Amino acid sequence: MRFHSPSIQYFHAVRRTGSIRAAARLLNVASSAVSRQILKLEQEVGSPLFERTARGLTLTTVGEMLARHVMNVLQDLDRFRSDVASLSGAWHGTVSIACIESLTESVLPDLIASHRGRARRVNFTTEVMGSSDVLEALRRGEADIGIAIALRHPPDLRQVALKRFRLGALVAREHPLARRKTVTLEQCLAFPVIHALPELSIYHLLQPLIAQLSETPEPAIQANSIDLMRELAARGVGVAFQTQLGIGRLSRDAQLVFLPLDNAGSPVWSDLGIYVRAERTLPDFTESFLQELVRELGERERRENAAYPQVV
């Protein structure tokens, strides 16, 4: 089932590893073979595809164009393979997901578990990273489905869905704020605060709001782990901020209380986008999972916004 010329595959490996020798190790061939295929390819195209540095290879402009083409080819080959496989009733393949941390608590594990319950031979690869890295991973063809805070996405990505969740404060059950229905940012800042570091997207959601306030006290704790922030809040160390999506079902251990955040009378939204490479048709098992993901996130969006209706 490998009917594409070696040049294509070698080029792809070199682009991913950034080195001919590393690509050769990956492909289990001699580095000279890889080098020659790249040289031949550059001769065919009539222009260098890589810039040679002492520490490896970097794509040129033409190289990036070819990379796009090769990615389209290889990803479409995957789809073809899955088409043929599903013809004989066998659904198998790997769904590769890049997402932000908020999803790991319950959305993804629940979905993957239930999906694997029905389709045992569909495997999953999930990698957690920052929002902009998610988009980059998709562009580089390292993931099939991306879930990230909805930034302005590049034109070669397609936003499959956009779901919005309320941002809220997370406090321990015994916290003075815990009995309120909603809280404002000012009310939270009267207490010790566990703040996200800039590498988390919550930082960029809250920062402009905090900047508007007259007083901006020092955050008691700064962290880049949602898990850590949640556990700290549960121990009463301070007030953390999250979408409910990121903290999972609170009912499991009722140590934590989620309080929707109000800013000037209106909710603070966190927009979650689901992304896919635009120039691509997904294999059917990937498409199927994607649909479930969109449905599930839509369901959660509905449920949570019903549980904490907007204050008018």
Residues that bind its own copies (CB under 8 A): 1-5, 7-8, 40-41, 44-47, 61-62, 65-66, 68-69, 72-73, 76-77, 79-80, 83-84, 87, 278-279, 281
Q: Which is nearer to its own copies, 17 or 72 (CB)?
A: 72
Minimum separation from the CB atom of position 64 to its own copies (A)? 10
Position 167 contacts DNA (CB under 7 A)? no
Binding mask 48-77 for DNA (x = CB under 7 A): ----x-xxxx--------------------
Q: Which does 1 bind (CB under 5 to 8 A by kind): its own copies, DNA, none?
A: its own copies
Position 104 contacts DNA (CB under 7 A)? no
Q: Which does 106 bind (CB under 5 to 8 A by kind): its own copies, DNA, none?
A: none
Whose tokens are 């993957």? That residue is 112
Among 26, 33, 151, 210, binds DNA (CB under 7 A): 33
Cα–Cα distance for residue pair 182/163, rounded to 1 Å: 21
List contacts with DNA (CB under 7 A): 5-7, 19-22, 28-33, 35-40, 52, 54-57
